[in-house]
Amino acid sequence: MAESLGVTEPPSRKVDTEPTSPFLRACHGLPADRTPVWLLRQAGRYMPEYRALREQHSMLDVIRTPELAAQVTLMPVDAFGVDAAIVFSDILPPLVGMGLELDFVQGDGPKIGNPLSSPRDVDLLGTPPAEETMSGTLGAIALVRRELESRAIPVIGFAGAPFTLASYAIEGGTSKDFSKTKAFMLSEPAAWRRLLTKLATVQADYLLAQAQAGAQALQVFDSWAGRALGREDYLRYVAPVNRELYAAIATAGVPVINFSLGVSAYLAEAAGCGGDVVGLDWQLPLDEACTLLGDERPVQGNLDPASLLAPWRELQARADDVLERAAGRPGHIFNVGHGVVPQTSVDNVRRLVEHVRERTST
Ligand code: CP3
């Protein structure tokens, strides 16, 4: 419920004409003249152009400067001809506006300087509007949209899901076992619920603002709930707030992709929280995941990103396997089942995108 998260709903922007881009057609479950392809973390450290730019600017500077973020967003579009651009940002900067200190430490990933450890810390978190705190990313979306409109390539906005963000806010960085997060969740269930509601409120407002700035699809990344929690804990401590988040952003008038990593043990339940498209990780073969979903919802995925580290023949065979398992479903967006890793060869990415395009063109 948008109201329960305190979000002001923008007027509905439902499309009244059928979209023409293969990516948006697939998001709506409509047939397209080929299977669209883009890659999670497609603008990243495996690209020499990105590394060169990062030598000049810090990660947070790139994210906060619309021109730089737009430049990075366009890198994989220009280099490989992917069918969608995901705005260059990260899931963590919205935490800064809430009162957390964020830094991206070279070689050590994101760090929070003042992690949460008590219910009082949760109550001190603010929930300012995205226009105030994330104007760099909103500006980058507007720039990219203007640039890509004539090429009919849609721009995707994104945010992190409440559990994943809570894990960074409590652990202070990426975690292997999520022990502090789970200890907080189990010891302070009321404060846990307040924390997740605050995070969902801020992300819902941010996602709606991204759609208003020009994003034509939205993706929610729940990278760690499935890694951290068994099914019963997920249903009890995470699913209710995820349902509220998806309900709040359903009013954006653009398709929403629900990407929940590591949820094979409760895929239908995680997908049931909301979203139009189900983003599949790489653990289950695509056809089996679709059977578990038990519906005709469009899916995105699900090549193991490690496949991109293999020689081309092996990569090609694994990409073909994904395409065969999707068997021409109108609602299939080809993607990796988690982010492209830094060691990936640019040449393999180029060949993969070309191959999916050629193999599926009608
Ligand atoms: O093309 C794109 O997708 C770029 C935009 C993007 C980034 N992060 C840029 C980034 C997106 C969509 C993300 C999402 C993100 N960030 C997630 C969810 C997706 C997933 O992979 O599970 C998570 C969990 C994070 C948190 C995060 N940010 C980590 C763990 C790290 C360090 C390790 C890593 O994956 O690179 C980051 C830093 C980060 N975010 C970099 C980039 C390009 C590397 C920064 C650098 O050193 O240049």
Which pLDDT belongs to residue 320? Answer: 98
The finding on whether 54 has its CB within 6 A of some atom of ligand 1 is yes
Look up residue 1 and give its two tokens: 């419920």
CA distance 231 to 239: 10
Q: Where in the sequence numbering do the catalytic residues fall?
A: 41, 45, 54, 90, 168
Q: What is residue 107's predicted lDDT score, i.e. its pLDDT?
A: 85
CB of 79 within 6 A of ligand 1: the answer is no
Tokens of 266: 């409760």
The CATH number for 2-10+23-360, chosen from 3.30.950.10, 3.40.50.410, 3.10.20.30, 3.20.20.210, is: 3.20.20.210
Q: How far apart are CA 50 and CA 33, in angstroms?
A: 31
Distance CA 171, CA 273 (A): 25
pTM value is 0.95
User: 215 CA distance to ligand 1 centroid (A)?
Assistant: 19
**How far is ligand 1, taken at its centre, from the CA of residue 41, in Å?**
7
88 in contact with ligand 1, CB cutoff 6 A: yes
> How far is residue 165 from each of residues 61, 161, 199, 220, measured CA to CA in Å?
21, 6, 7, 11
pLDDT in tens, 296-344: 899 999 999 999 999 999 999 999 999 999 986 889 999 999 999 999 9
Q: What is the pLDDT of residue 302?
A: 98
Which protein residue has the closest C-alpha to ligand 1 atom 11? 90
Q: Ligand 1 pocket test: pick from 39, 40, 41, 338 the residue with the most ligand atoms within 8 Å of its Cβ.
A: 41
Q: Which tokens in the block code for residue 110?
A: 């994101």
Angstrom CA distances, 63 to 59, 60, 313, 362, stand at: 6, 5, 36, 38
Query: Which pLDDT score is estimated for 329?
Result: 81
* pLDDT string in tens for the chain (362-residue length): 344 575 554 444 445 578 999 999 999 999 999 999 999 999 999 999 999 999 999 999 999 999 999 999 999 999 999 999 999 999 999 999 999 999 999 888 999 999 999 999 999 999 999 999 999 999 999 999 999 999 999 999 999 999 999 999 999 999 999 999 999 999 999 999 999 999 999 999 999 999 999 999 999 999 999 999 999 999 999 999 999 999 999 999 999 999 999 999 999 999 999 999 999 999 999 999 999 998 689 999 999 999 999 999 999 999 999 999 998 688 999 999 999 999 999 999 999 999 999 999 97
pLDDT for res 2: 43
- Residue of 63, 64, 90, 111 to mutate, ligand 1, most atoms within 8 A of C-beta: 90
Pair of tokens at residue 253 = 């008038």
Burial class (CB in 10 A: 0-12, 13-18, 19+), 14: exposed
232 is written with which tokens? 């019963």
